[in-house]
Chain A
Amino acid sequence: MALKIVKGSIDRMFDKNLQDLVRGIRNHKEDEAKYISTCIDEIKQELKQDNIAVKANAVCKLTYLQMLGYDVSWAAFNIVEVMSSSKFTYKRIGYLAASQCFHESTDVIMLTTNQIRKDLSSPNQYDTGVALTGLSCFVTPDLARDLANDIMTLMSHTKPYIRKKAVLIMYKVFLKYPESLRPAFPRLKEKLEDPDPGVQSAAVNVICELARRNPKNYLSLAPLFFKLMTSSTNNWVLIKIIKLFGALTPLEPRLGKKLIEPLTNLIHSTSAMSLLYECVNTVIAVLISLSSGMPNHSASIQLCVQKLRILIEDSDQNLKYLGLLAMSKILKTHPKSVQSHKDLILQCLDDKDESIRLRALDLLYGMVSKKNLMEIVKKLMLHVDKAEGTTYRDELLTKIIDICSQSNYQYITNFEWYISILVELTRLEGTRHGHLIASQMLDVAIRVKAIRAFAVAQMATLLDNAHLLTGNMQRNGICEVSYAAAWICGEFSEHLENPMQTLEAMLRPKVATLPGHIQAVYVQNAAKLFATVLKSQEGNTDSTAAQETSQLMIERLPLFVQSANLEVQERASCILQLVKYIQKLQQKDVEVAEEVSALFAGELNPVAPKAQKKVPVPEGLDLDAWINEPPSESESEDEQPKAIFTKEETKHSRPRHIEVDEKELARRREARKQEQANNPFYIKASPSSQKVYQDTPGVEHIPVVQIDLSVPLKVPGLPMSDQYVKLEEERRQKERAEKKKKEKKKRKEKRSGRGKKHDSGPESEEDITPAHMVDIVTEEMPENALPSDDDDKDPNDPHKALDIDLDNLGEMAGRRPLADSEKLPVRSHRAVEAAKSPGEDGDAETVATQQPKKKSGKDKRDDKKKDKDKERKKSKDEKKKKKHKHEEKEEDLLRGEVHEPVVQSEGISQVAELPTSTSAEVSDLDFWLSNAPVPSNTQEAATVAAAEAPVAEVVSGAAQDSEPDEPKDTEMEETKSSKHKKKKQKKEKEEKEKKKKKRHHHHHRHSDGGGEESVQNGTVEEEEPLPSMSNYCLLAENSYIKMVYDIQGNLQDGSQVVVSVIFENKCDSFLKSMEFNVLDSLNSKLQRPEGSGPHDGLTVPFQLPPGVSNEARFVFTVQSIVMPQKLKGTLTFIVKNEESSTHEKLDFKLHFTCTSYLITTPCYSDAYAKLLESGDLKGSSLKLEGVNMPFHHLLARICFHHHFSVVERIDSCSSMYSRSIQGHHVCLLVKSSGQTVSIDAKCDEPTMLGNVLDEIKQTFSQC
């Protein structure tokens, strides 16, 4: 043994160490590869030895070779051996090698678990440190699961050196094993306040990284981070926190308001450029998230822009770059403030640094206007000519196209100019973006009808000179352009001046060198051209010309018939046969042109790119269902091919199979539905969406510019865009002159589609009119497309799995404690202390039972009850407790609970931020957010208070609405009490008193009449199944007649509602001469025919025989629609039977609910989100208890009775939208858990909202 060791040591003296290896490689420059391969052989020998030192040395050398690009995975096992050495020196070498070359599919990794665990618990902190560092590079899901608990223990290690590493690595663990996030989070949060700055920084780092991906889950940490921000002096930490706030503010505008002041202070005070820059960045984010229009914000924007200008003007290129980068963020929301720095940005376009030029290009996008587009593009074209690298040139090209085509060609006044720009761009050699130019050409030619003649002429020239632009066809991306050219020439061939020439150009032999798909287009469009040519030639008396054309086709087409490309071949042979047939007919002197061109008749309309996706799946069609029964899995593979050959048999068995299928399919469908119902990521179709979205809005926002002017210009040959710049200038001049003349005559606004015009300044944007009658055709969408815009999400994003709700962990143990299944896996033979998962800290009793995995449901309940009892003592609010009960029941349901402000799906995130007063955690946050620092001077105080008012309203309004009978003031103050500043309190009281009065007022009105109405409503509804819901409710009834009515808003006129009344004759007599009259109020008036007095009744235009009912409509004008209204009225009529006729009358009260002013309006989810973001809406909320119906019934009811439409629905949570006839937006977020339904609502008219909510409540109080 000893001898062996000695031998090993002696061998070692001759071994190469790393330095020798490096030296050797440097000395063998000419045959490096060969030298290295001998070295690898040596290393293999060394690895075979038992001596660990030799092995470590070999592994060390391998690490170096790995860097040079050699695959060393074959030594993975040896690396594990070295890792497990007891010596730190070797261990470190092993871990380094592992971190460089191990990855998820390295199979020896699974051997390391125990070794790593041992190292993690080593008494030597550097062993632990090295293991953590290594693990951070090669952690796999298995390792993460097995080691999560060990690492979590290390987070509370005594040594800060270990703590900070453990905290950091947790992020990697979360990524690989998302289930660990919830149990580990409380401790991670704790580390934010670790005494050691390094640990603190690591925790900030991890949480920022987590929050960046799923910011909404971390909103509740904002107060903590705010504290850190104001207290920390570590710039790294500050930068991270400030960046994090940048990600959080879009979700919570109030946070932004709070941030602005400290951030501005930092901007003024800090000397670190990096910090300054991040502050500016976050202030920008805040400003973006806040609704504009508040005066004090323009100051902040100015500050930012100013600071950025300083950065851009700095000689340090880095600052210049960052300044431009940040500027582009401002551009999106505040283009005006950036536009004033146009000079500076154009200057940066000439910078020698490409990075800076690219950033400046980005900014340019927002700088263009109708006025300067041509000038800017001209400048860019110069750059294109000068650009040396293809990447930058390609970037320029795409930017030019982006800039020109943005917002539906908004800024292009002269499309001839644009086409010529595109044609000029085709001269770029070696660009990758040929297809981009091509699609622009197609788009413009198809959608701008007026330009077609010009475009066709240009394309014909292009085709003629195709050889110029596609010198070396195959490799050149630009040849895509000829695709567009050929298509345009073919499709719009009627505009061609010389179709024959173009036809010849299309059939040149050289075409055969083009890529297949382009050839195919050539062939097809040659046929279209052929049709056109025939038509023109047959008109002439000379028939030989037509025959010659056919002959040309017949001569040229065989070339394509031989093509290797299937599509080309097929099209060519098809057309060849056709032409041959035509030729035969021609020889018999038959006129064929009409019929040939009929082949290509009809216009192709542009179709929106997403149209196909938006076609709703027809009812009853299950796309997932098998068309044919899939081969059963038990069938062995060699049996399958046999089945194909034995056709007879399958035929026989078919019908039998189908019967089985039906059942099987039904079962599967059911199973799938189940699965989908349980899957939180599956967005279910809302029941009403199909009906609601029948008519697709959005077509009318596309501006259609209609101005006719000036003679179209014709420029022979390839156009030079520069000419257009000049011509355009002249044209504008002329136009301006004309305009002035006109304006002198009459000041009246003339242009269509433009709102107000701000006088004729020197040359305002509006003054520039397009040169052509431009009719931009909109892209077509399927008729009943479902507008949902969240179809671009990457399902493979690993961070999606980390979208886990964390709000109610830790101290709030009773709210949604960690489920047993959520505890981190622990090795079973470990000591109890180690097994104790920190996630259980909240309820120690559970741990004491020592069998956390198996606990009967009953026990659990008991524990919960204890918790609950504790809670009960503490809690003041009755409501909250009920909430808890529900939560506990649902404890095992999937995440994304209904009550939380945080909902799983990204799509609904905007909706989710509606402030809910139900969740304590959130109201804490709300409180923190609303509790802005008391400003020193009074003027500021006023503005702050004004800003806070809506927040206070939200809270108080919510409470009042849900329990209207209880006096709330005391309670409200109790919950908020301690921290309140006096000033604020007073303010709030006033506010509340005011509100109360108001509320009281209409509450009263509501209850005295609303009762009877809703009783009726209820009796009608209760027995009725869902599909036959009726909005008609009883107006009045006596022994003769019954009237039911429904009120509908008039979409066209914001001040009109239509009342439809159904009169039903209940008696045996004839009813006639019915007169309907209403006592008008100030606000609502019955529309009477002209000439009649204000008190005259309206004659009902029909008579009622016995037992018959009929409907009449009455139009009312209303002024204010924010409050419900009652109008008294009378119906007089004559009851006539054989003997007598009597005069009768019936009094009624017409109840105009606020709901009746709402009109079902569909809303896109993004528009909806924008609406909520805008901050113009005031919130309120409502809670319904004991609602005993499926969620979709509930939604259907709200949709039906209250004229809402579902924007989006996820599980038992749905966002809804409606609009009043006067354009008030009403947004609802409906969440249901068990029998409790909470509705958060926002509307720009709080009074109206309150009334609508009351009405909704009334609807449901009856079920």
Chain B
Amino acid sequence: MIKAILIFNNHGKPRLSKFYEHYSEDTEQQIIRETFHLVSKRDENVCNFLEGGMLIGGSDYKLIYRHYATLYFVFCVDSSESELGILDLIQVFVETLDKCFENVCELDLIFHVDKVHNILAEMVMGGMVLETNMNEIIMQVDAQNKMEKSETFIFQSTRQDR
């Protein structure tokens, strides 16, 4: 199971937080801070696994992260997930973002956090991996976006009618 997915930048500013278990807002912020603290002080060429922090997890949980340019992608997972598998999943996630946003950068995530959530929802559901095939994910995301567009179009046209 995945317990949480966090994206934050090099300064620890959250860009996306998805917790699959309920925490209070304060605890969530603390977890983000703690995770940032743990992850940011690690060198570039060390391993991508970290024994979990105090707040999230405990002994069974691990932080698995990747660092891309200005962003950290951190997954907090328990022992039922394959470590290398999750690393691959992060890669898939980032590549999907790249495809959907066309050359994704931090700004895309800043301004369109809702879209990122929607993409993530096609990959991970309730803490379990739903889909790992990038094409399938993109197809579903596109189909939903198309639907959204058609709705706004109808809405705009009705508005113009009145």
Contact = CB atoms under 8 A, between A and B. Distances in A.
Given A6-B162, A89-B151, A239-B85, A161 B140 contact: yes
Nearest to A242: B82
Nearest to B46: A353
B25 to A, nearest CB: 5
Nearest to A26: B110
A88 interface: yes
Interface in B87-132: 87-88, 110-114, 117-118, 121, 125-132
B1 A321 contact: no
A171 B24 CA distance: 24
Given A103-B22, A126-B147, A92 B47 contact: no
B50 interface: yes
A1040 B46 CA distance: 93
Contacts of B26: 69
B112 to A, nearest CB: 8
Contacts of B43: 352-353
A9 interface: yes
Interface in A1-51: 2, 5-6, 9, 18-19, 22-23, 26
Nearest to B152: A89
B46 A352 contact: yes
A87 B131 CA distance: 25
Contacts of A88: 144, 147-148, 151
A274 B125 contact: no
A692 interface: no
Nearest to B80: A212
Interface string A45-69: 0000000010000001001101111
A355 interface: yes
A202 B14 CA distance: 30
A2 B162 contact: yes
Given A318-B47, A355-B46, A356-B47, A236 B128 contact: no
Interface stretch (A203-211, A681-689, A694-702, A1227-1235): A203-211
B155 interface: yes
Given A70-B25, A88-B148, A274-B85, A209 B162 contact: no
A130 B147 CA distance: 13
A171 B125 CA distance: 11
A510 B42 CA distance: 42
A320 interface: yes
A9 B25 contact: no
Contacts of A205: 128-129
Nearest to B82: A239
Nearest to B85: A274
Contacts of A317: 45-48
Given A88-B151, A352-B43, A136 B126 contact: yes
Interface residues of A, number: 71
Nearest to A205: B128
Contact of B80 (A26, A89, A243, A353): A243
Contact of B125 (A53, A70, A133, A209): A133
Contacts of B1: 209
B114 A9 contact: no
Interface residues of B, number: 56
B79 to A, nearest CB: 8
A911 interface: no
A1240 interface: no
Nearest to A106: B22
B90 to A, nearest CB: 12
Contacts of B9: none
B130 A202 contact: yes
Given A88-B148, A132-B125, A161-B140, A104 B22 contact: yes
A208 B80 contact: yes
A206 B51 contact: no
Contact of A320 (B17, B47, B130): B47
B110 A209 contact: no
B143 interface: yes
Contacts of A165: 125, 130
Given A70-B25, A212-B80, A236-B85, A126 B126 contact: no
A243 B82 contact: yes
Interface string A119-137: 0000010100110110011
A67 B118 contact: no
Given A136-B125, A274-B88, A322 B132 contact: no
Interface string B2-32: 0000000000001011101010111011000
B151 A92 contact: no
Contacts of A1070: none
Interface in A864-907: none
B128 A67 contact: no
B130 A168 contact: yes
B17 A236 contact: no
B56 to A, nearest CB: 15
A243 B84 CA distance: 13
B65 to A, nearest CB: 11
Contacts of A69: 25-26, 28-29
A273 interface: yes
A719 interface: no
A133 B128 contact: no
Interface in A207-264: 208-209, 212, 235-236, 239, 243
Interface of A: 2, 5-6, 9, 18-19, 22-23, 26, 53, 60, 63-64, 66-71, 87-89, 92-93, 96, 100, 103-104, 124, 126, 129-130, 132-133, 136-137, 139, 161, 164-165, 168-169, 171-172, 198, 201-202, 205-206, 208-209, 212, 235-236, 239, 243, 273-274, 277-278, 317-318, 320-322, 352-356, 358
7 contacts: A26-B110, A89-B147, A89-B152, A132-B125, A164-B130, A169-B126, A317-B48
Interface of B: 1, 14, 16-18, 20, 22, 24-26, 28-29, 42-43, 45-51, 80, 82-85, 87-88, 110-114, 117-118, 121, 125-133, 136, 140, 143-144, 147-148, 151-152, 155, 159, 162
